[in-house]
Amino acid sequence: MSLKNTTEQWGWLSKLFHWTTALVIFIQIPLGFYADSLKLSPFKLDIFVWHKSLGMLVLLLVIVRLLWRIKNTIPAAIPGTALEQLLAKLAQGAMYILMLALPLSGWLVSSAANFPVKLFWLIPLPAISGPDEALKSLASEVHEICVFALIIILVTHIGAALWHHLRLRDNALKRMWF
pLDDT in tens, 8-30: 999 999 999 999 999 999 999 99
The residues of the chain scoring below 50 in pLDDT are none
Domain ranges of the chain: 12-176
CATH architecture of 12-176: Up-down Bundle (1.20)
Q: Where are the alpha helices (DSSP H) in the chain?
A: 12-37, 42-71, 82-112, 133-162
Q: What is the pTM of this model?
A: 0.92
Contacts 24+ apart (CB under 8 A), 41-48: none
